[in-house]
Structure 1
Amino acid sequence: MTEAVLILAIVLCFGGMFSLWRGWRHLVARRPLRAGGRGSIGLILLAVATLASLAALDLAGYQRLTAERPVAVIRFAAAGPATYTARLTTAFGETASYRLLGQDWRLDARVLKWRAWATLLGFEPLYQLRRLSGRYASVADAQSRPHTVYAIGHDRGLDVWMWARRLHLSFVDAVYGSSVYLPMAAGAEYRVSLGPTGLIARPENEAARQAVAGWR
């Protein structure tokens, strides 16, 4: 849809410029009536092209942000009472294992979203996974029992996320943290995606679906 509107805007723009050029030729040839007609048509076409461009810009923002992007797959194996081994595989194929304590797992990420005109130029929402941690279902356990937290992302070169927050860059629409948590279970597998509102996790097998169904 966005591409079609953008192509229409480009065609109208060229048509408007051509009509203005023809109008100029008529004006030079001392044909004012034809010059005025061609010029009016050219201005109308350029105005419609501008409106079509603005529509394409707005549509680009919506379409880019409605599609989910795969982020990671996480699998669990029991390793003791309220203890699990989590095997995390990112969308880039990186795999690592972590020992988590508690009943739930939690994944944190940083997210950068661009303004509509930037998405039209090809910029897509960016994310960086930051932490994987265990989470206790009980507040009392969370206050008294040991916690497991792992850094799974690090800054490489310029910290764009930090500078985007500090400088309020015009092409950045939103900078925020996003997290998702679900229950751990032996053999459970979850798939994590990045959607319009942040991270989304869904059970991928029966063990995970049963864990979510009995979650409290």
Structure 2
Amino acid sequence: MNFPVVVGLPQVILFLLAVVGIGLLISTAMGISGRRSGRYRGDEDEEDARKFGRHHRYRRRLPIGRGILGLVLVLLALSLLWLTLLVQTYLGLTSDIKVARVHATPVANADHLMSVELILYNQNGHQTSDQTYLVKGDDWRLEGDIIKFPTWLNILGLHSGYKLTRMEGRYEDPNLERSNLPTVIPLNGGDDNFFKTVQEQAWVSPVVEAAYGSGTFLRADGKTYDVLASQTGLFAEPVK
């Protein structure tokens, strides 16, 4: 299984914005607190304090201008924190990872047979293999295992776990599907014990929302498609 952690330049910038926002919030709060309290109101109060052996504090009125400035800084700090949360939520929930590239063409003078070039990528986007297969069927289909984490973990940058497990052919005619065995090609060792264990225990795990299989299929039309893993499953999109 692959468990990508999506952290890049956008996340670094958002972290710096969050630090600035928190710093502004703390600085403004301390500034307002410091201006609102003092030691003595004048020589008369200081004389009374020495005479009676006691100290007392007083409230000093906050100038309107400073109050408005403090309010503006608080709003700015909260806006930065809110913006950081919104952008990171968007990045965390929409980060798709390319896992494969497929180019499938029908074999000339052969019914329901296609040549499929399959390129696999690791979680860092580096190519790991490039193989071509003869596959029976009209459509190619890629399947894999998905381990879905709660949304708050996705927002923090942890992508759903995934693993491609097989490629197979698919007949568009259900009658052919029943009478002909499609080609099945295991990938990455197929389903493993780790996924099966997580799937059985997902309903009691606080950090696993679900564990399930996912797949995407398209007709062998001679076009090239990228297969991506989203936070919820596999999907294909044409290469432009």
**Does TM-score exceed 0.5, indicating one fold?**
yes
Bigger mean CA deviation after superposition, 47-56 or 104-113? 47-56
Task: List gaps (5 residues or longer) in structure 2.
Answer: 1-9, 40-56
TM-score w.r.t. length of structure 1 = 0.66
CA contact (8 A) 1:64 1:119 kept: yes
Question: Match for residue 13 of structure 1?
Answer: 22
Compute the displacement of 1:164 (Å). 7.2
Give the equivalent residue in structure 2 for 1:100: 135
* Pair 1:193-2:228 in alignment: yes
Contact between 1:16 and 1:44, CA under 8 Å: does it hold in 2?
A: no
Give deviations 1:65-110, integer Å, cap 9, x for gaps: 3354322112336284423342311123223343321111111123
- Compared CA separation, residues 47 and 192, structure 1 to 2 (3 A): same
Alignment of 1:13-162 (within 5 A): 13-22=22-31, 27=37, 29=39, 30=57, 32-33=59-60, 49=77, 53=81, 56-76=84-104, 78=107, 80-92=110-122, 93=127, 94-154=129-189, 158-159=194-195, 162=199
- 8 Å CA contact retained: 2:142, 2:216: yes
1:166 to partner: Cα distance: 3.7
**Structure 1, unaligned runs of 5 or more:** 206-216
- SS of aligned partner of 1:147: coil
Check the 8 A contact 1:65/1:196 in 2, yes or no: yes
CA-based RMSD? 4.3
3-state DSSP class of the match of 1:65? helix
Q: State how far apart, in whole Å, the 2-side matches of 1:91 and 1:85 are.
A: 20
Identity %: 26
Inter-CA distance 54–118: structure 2 relative to 1 (3 Å threshold)? farther
Query: C-alpha offsets along residues 161-202 of structure 1, whole Å, 9 cap, x if unaligned?
Result: 5377243434x56644321111225x5533223346643324
Looking at structure 1, the residues matched to 194 and 231 of structure 2 have their Cα atoms a distance apart, in angstroms, of 25
1:211 alignment counterpart: none
Q: 1:167 corresponds to which residue?
A: 204
Counterpart secondary structure, 1:64: helix
- Distance apart, 1:132 and its partner CA: 0.7
Secondary structure at the counterpart of residue 86 of structure 1: strand
Structure 1 residue 149: deviation in Å? 1.7
Select between 154-163 and 79-88 the one with higher mean Cα deviation: 154-163
Partners of 1:50 and 1:90 in 2: CA distance: 44
Distance in 2, matches of 1:151 and 1:105, equals 14
| Count of paired positions | 203
Q: Is 1:178 aligned to residue 208 of structure 2?
A: no
Q: Is the 8 A contact 1:76 1:84 kept in 2?
A: yes
Q: Which has the larger radius of gyration?
A: 2
Q: For residues 128 and 97 of structure 1, do their structure 2 counterparts lie closer, same or farther at Cα, with a shift above 3 Å needed?
A: same
3-state SS in 1 of match to 2:21:
helix
- C-alpha contact (below 8 Å) 2:148/2:160 kept by paired residues: yes
